[in-house]
């Protein structure tokens, strides 16, 4: 079902308004704001929580846009991401200005997502692939945290990074004590993001199998301590297929079927407009031709505010207890813009919409 001219114009106008909103709210440093809140709806108790992670995600969302305003935002964001880089091409969740920056160890989610953005934009940075590959368990799955372990490290660069954290035993002790994190965390979305950065190889074969088993065993909502929506998992998993890792093909139809079973009468997919945007991007990543895509796009258009943004919703959490959630209008808006931009692009190439 092809979109008509009026719908086409509405989508272009919506994208323009969304980009203007993001541009107006990008910090001078290049960072995009994210908030931490104990309110499940993120209406109250929202506190700015500076991190490179949301900015890296938003950069990827904007990469589908060919507008000059998008390119400028990405350029500014990259400068922020580079300013947060530590020795050996390492990042951690909280920025250098954050009071707890030194308390949280480096993690592969931030490293992989930021590195992917830099790689996508042909930015030179230290090769950190060996560090990531050395941060695996006996089943060749990636640990989330880079910390000292009883098992001897496989590389000097990894050892240097891990031992830097080992010199702060009290910081680590209280970090594990006060959070739901554990040194040996293995998380589904984190492994999907590392796969997306490193690509398909003999070293990542076990990760591909692990990620597919999560889908087959209906573990999407509890395979990761931080990303507790199955739509987060579907989105980050499908990015790998879109990037050419077609060994994930056996679960393509399963994922599409699960998503389509969640389509609501008003066109939304899942529980809210953020999950709808993630679902549309996922369906496009899997090259689906479902009419649910167009209905979801219409739902996204309906929920945009007069200021060009979409509402703040929790995107990830501090653990399964969901005591803290993280999100922002900027994060929701970026995923909605990715969905709309890619929908328009696909419409130019195909006849299925």
Per-residue pLDDT of the chain (353 residues), as tens digits, is 444 544 788 999 999 999 999 999 999 999 999 999 999 999 999 999 999 999 999 999 999 999 999 999 999 999 999 999 999 999 999 999 999 999 999 999 999 999 999 999 999 999 999 999 999 999 999 999 999 887 766 677 887 888 888 878 888 888 998 899 999 999 999 999 999 999 999 999 999 999 999 999 999 999 999 999 999 999 999 999 999 999 999 999 999 999 999 999 999 999 999 999 999 999 999 999 999 999 999 999 999 999 999 999 999 999 999 999 999 999 999 999 999 999 999 887 654 33
**Cα–Cα dist 208/195, whole Å:** 8
Helix or strand run (H / E) with residue 85? none
CA–chain centroid gap for 69, Å, is 22
Dihedral through CA 188, CA 190, CA 194, CA 196, nearest 10?
Answer: 70
**Cα–Cα dist 218/86, whole Å:** 37
Supply the range of the domain harboring residue 274. Answer: 5-349
Where helices occur in 136-291 by DSSP H, the ranges are: 156-166, 169-178, 188-198, 205-216, 230-242, 252-260, 273-285
**Cα–Cα dist 102/95, whole Å:** 9
185 with 225: CB under 8 angstroms?
yes
Residue 68: CB atoms within 10 A of its CB come to 9
Count how many domains the chain has: 1
122 with 81: CB under 8 angstroms?
no
In this prediction the pTM is: 0.95
Supply angle C-alpha 271, 70, 101, rounded to 5.
70
**Cα–Cα dist 353/351, whole Å:** 6
* Three-state DSSP state, 67: coil
- Per-residue pLDDT, 155: 72
**Cα–Cα dist 189/219, whole Å:** 12
Q: What is the CATH number of the domain that holds 67?
A: 1.50.10.20
Q: How many angstroms separate the most distant Cα atoms in the chain?
A: 62
321 with 180: CB under 8 angstroms?
yes
Phi, psi of 18 (to 5 degrees): -65, -40
Structure-token pair, residue 287: 């090259």
CA–chain centroid gap for 286, Å, is 17
- Per-residue pLDDT, 351: 46
Structure-token pair, residue 270: 């899942």
């Amino acid at each position: 079902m092809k979109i008509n001219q009026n719908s086409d114009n509405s989508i272009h106008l919506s994208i323009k308004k969304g980009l203007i909103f993001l541009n107006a709210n990008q910090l001078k440093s290049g960072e995009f704001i994210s908030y931490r809140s104990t309110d499940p709806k993120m209406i109250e108790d929202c506190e700015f929580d500076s991190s490179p992670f949301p900015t890296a995600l938003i950069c990827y969302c904007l990469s589908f846009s060919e507008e000059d305003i998008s390119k400028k935002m990405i350029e500014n964001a990259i400068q922020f991401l580079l300013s947060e880089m530590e020795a050996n091409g390492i990042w951690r969740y909280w920025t250098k200005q954050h009071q707890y920056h030194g308390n949280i160890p480096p993690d592969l989610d931030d490293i992989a997502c930021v590195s992917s953005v830099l790689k996508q934009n042909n930015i030179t940075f230290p090769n950190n692939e060996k560090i990531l590959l050395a941060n695996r368990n006996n089943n060749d799955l990636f640990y989330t945290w880079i910390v000292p372990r009883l098992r001897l490290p496989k590389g000097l660069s990894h050892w240097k990074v891990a031992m830097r954290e080992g010199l702060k035993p009290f910081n680590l002790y209280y970090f594990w004590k006060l959070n739901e994190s554990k040194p040996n965390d293995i998380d589904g979305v984190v492994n999907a993001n590392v796969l997306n950065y490193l690509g398909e190889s003999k070293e990542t074969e076990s990760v591909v199998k692990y990620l597919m088993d999560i889908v087959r065993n209906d573990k999407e909502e509890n395979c990761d301590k931080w990303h507790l929506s199955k739509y987060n998992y579907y989105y980050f998993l499908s990015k790998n297929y879109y990037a050419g890792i077609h060994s994930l093909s056996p679960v393509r139809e399963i994922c599409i079927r699960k998503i389509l079973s969640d389509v609501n009468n008003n066109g939304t997919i899942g529980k809210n407009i953020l999950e709808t945007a993630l679902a549309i991007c996922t369906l496009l990543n899997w090259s689906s031709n479902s009419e649910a895509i167009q209905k979801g796009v219409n739902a996204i258009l309906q929920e945009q505010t007069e200021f060009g943004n979409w509402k703040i919703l929790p995107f990830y959490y501090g653990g399964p207890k969901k005591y803290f959630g993280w999100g922002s209008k900027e994060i929701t808006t970026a995923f909605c813009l990715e969905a709309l931009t890619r929908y328009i692009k696909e419409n130019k190439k195909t006849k299925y919409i």
